């Protein structure tokens, strides 16, 4: 019987990739509490708190990997909310961690922000005056 090569032996004992965990994000957390920062924290304070906690709760540094993994996910999720201005604003105004569903997306506001200062009443009047005679 042929012996297995070292590479095939290693691949069979390979640990599962932790980045493949696609469990849903926690929905019942307060990101400010998780990161231990006040609601007035600056982006620098949030980033610093995140880095310290992420190092502290990294699953490779704990015997109870399951607990550390859960805590590590909460920390990463809290940072994802507070490090993004739009998400943070939404959380601060609604207290919701849920992303907007497609039906709830405010397209009018999005287009207004996108074209603010580019297309407005003045630019339309200028365009009309410039090209009306053609």
Provide the residue ranges of all domains of the chain, joining segments of one domain with +.
22-97
> How would you class 49 by CB atoms within 10 Å of its CB: exposed for 0-12, middle for 13-18, buried for 19 or more?
buried
User: What fold characterizes domain 22-97?
Assistant: Helix Hairpins (1.10.287)
Contact 91, 31 (CB under 8 A): yes
This model's pTM is above 0.85 = no
pLDDT digits (tens, 9 = 90+) for 23-75: 555 557 899 999 999 999 999 999 999 999 999 988 888 888 888 888 988 99
**Among 57-61, 80-84, 126-130, where is mean pLDDT lowest?**
126-130
pLDDT digits (tens, 9 = 90+) for 92-108: 888 877 765 545 656 66
pLDDT value, residue 7: 46
- Rounded to 10 degrees, the C-alpha dihedral 111/112/115/117 comes to 180
């Amino acid at each position: 019987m042929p012996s297995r090569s070292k590479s095939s032996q290693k691949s069979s004992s390979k640990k599962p990739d932790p980045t493949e965990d696609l469990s849903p994000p926690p929905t019942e957390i307060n990101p400010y509490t998780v990161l231990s920062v006040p609601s007035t924290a600056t982006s620098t304070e949030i980033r610093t708190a995140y880095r310290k906690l992420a190092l502290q709760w990294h699953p490779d540094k704990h015997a109870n990997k399951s607990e550390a993994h859960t805590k590590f996910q909460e920390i990463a999720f809290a940072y994802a909310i507070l490090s993004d201005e739009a998400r943070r604003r939404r959380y601060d105004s609604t207290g919701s961690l849920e992303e907007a569903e497609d039906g709830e997306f405010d397209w009018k506001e999005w287009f207004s922000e996108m074209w603010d200062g580019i297309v407005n009443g003045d630019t339309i009047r200028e365009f009309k005056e410039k090209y009306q005679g053609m």
